[in-house]
Chain A
């Protein structure tokens, strides 16, 4: 078996046993990137020199018998929304095309402290706004299972990088499904931790009350390993929560006795593709065979989640993105010859030229929802419905340990299929969006393939700070199925 097909946990074994060095491993992944990334287009930037230098350092540390971090020598790809000191961090936007952060994000610090090898930055929907990665200002990432289809988004580059075995693990961010949806569409594992679990310091903000950082991996064991590294209190993020991080990898192999799975009827209504529906039903049957009990629950306000989200998220975005005015960093519009641009015109020209269409649409929608005369009818109304959505979850979790259902209503769609219909695009997040509004934790794990060979994801949602339980529940499924071991033809060859 080719080394690049392996999980990070397996690679860790090989490194520890001295069967391979981190330099060799990093070279293998760099080789895979140069062979396949021209087709997949997952990477915005590949830092071969930096990665090999770091790999060398870790190998030297290992040789000297020094203590090593949990990801020692393992290549990691990072979504281009997380600041890496001195390296271009673009958010896949023209606005930040030449931006070089003066400091590392908390996530990158944690990865460095764990001795990981940061191999590159991945493509995304501009400012993490989108569900297909087609909103990148620079390129369109392809789904490794079918190059004519989208990888999902907004963390499409990070998901495609792992699915195409260009990196064993990667980091994404999830504001309304941007980790879980691409994980589902690319046949890998992706988790969105509880709001406040992972520091947002150095994460370029989209919607501050919804954004969370999380890992993409081939299986749940790796996912637990990564979250263990990423999670933890950070005083530099005032919404970071100060509570201990459980050792997820220590307990993950323990099945949950008496598991109660909540199955909301609202997740199986119209709009759900029938192949997805039957794969989810089959997954639930697997759990039943393992002794789990299915409980009918209801999330009556589910149908309002997308509408609520597109007010809350855009309102926050309109405020967060006000900082891009072309003064201190980022793009600045230049006056045309003979023209004089005053300050205000410089702002508005900069933003019209620097932001793409979707980002502009969301800034407009958010500004409208917060503007005098409309704030009560839109923003305040949405916050009230957000409360009802959270209450639904509280109510449901009083009857079950986990809520399960589809991650995405359909498998990966074709490139361009929804790019001219923003509303249709928004609706592809219908099952993932409420999780962020409520601030709970969720993940997607592979649970099947369609007849045409496209991956299907099962979504698990748990109450705040119950990631430990979530990983154990997900691992139960992996112990009796092999969907997480599948790799696309693109990687396996003929």
Chain B
């Protein structure tokens, strides 16, 4: 695993890592993946993947309205709020030209 792959994965993971962190992460992930690579010595052809220990399928319920949390409880942990809304940074920079 090279540092460019690690940089790409950090971006996918939404982790703003410093160059020092990226270098250390590269070294540690390489060691861990080296260990994990022993899985490749196993022949798993025709083996059904097991994603879950229970033989359960989708669990459905009736689509009936039920009470939800009061607004104040929902918003009590908000890092920032405006009235009854979560306040978040702008998704688009208003300075960007979005016409094209």
Contacts and interface: CB of A to CB of B under 8 A. Distances in A.
A76 B15 CA distance: 37
A361 B25 contact: yes
A199 interface: no
Given A364-B10, A367-B9, A371-B9, A327 B53 contact: no
Interface string A314-343: 000010001001111111100000000111
B32 A423 contact: yes
B59 interface: yes
Interface stretch (A113-121, A213-221, A268-276, A303-311): A303-311
A304 B35 CA distance: 10
Given A195-B53, A365-B32, A343 B90 contact: yes
Contacts, number: 162
Contacts of B36: 307, 310-311, 378
A355 B25 CA distance: 14
B79 A326 contact: yes
B10 A387 contact: no
B89 interface: yes
A265 interface: no
B73 A330 contact: no
Contacts of B69: 102-103
Given A342-B89, A388-B42, A102 B76 contact: yes
A147 to B, nearest CB: 29
Interface residues of B, number: 51
Contacts of A341: 89
Contacts of A306: 35
Interface in B66-94: 69, 73-74, 76-80, 86, 88-91, 93
Interface of A: 98-100, 102-103, 195-196, 209, 235, 238-239, 241, 301, 303-304, 306-308, 310-311, 318, 322, 325-332, 341-349, 351-352, 355, 360-361, 363-365, 367-368, 371, 377-378, 380-388, 390, 422-423, 426, 437-440, 464
27 contacts: A100-B76, A102-B69, A102-B73, A102-B77, A307-B35, A308-B39, A322-B14, A327-B86, A328-B78, A329-B77, A329-B78, A341-B89, A345-B16, A347-B14, A351-B13, A361-B28, A363-B15, A364-B25, A377-B40, A385-B47, A386-B51, A387-B49, A422-B31, A422-B32, A423-B31, A438-B53, A439-B52
Interface of B: 1, 5-6, 9-17, 21, 25, 28-29, 31-33, 35-36, 38-40, 42, 44, 47-54, 56, 59, 61, 69, 73-74, 76-80, 86, 88-91, 93
Given A311-B39, A383-B50, A426-B32, 15 more contacts: A102-B76, A209-B53, A327-B88, A328-B86, A330-B79, A343-B90, A346-B89, A351-B14, A361-B29, A365-B32, A381-B39, A385-B39, A386-B49, A387-B47, A388-B44
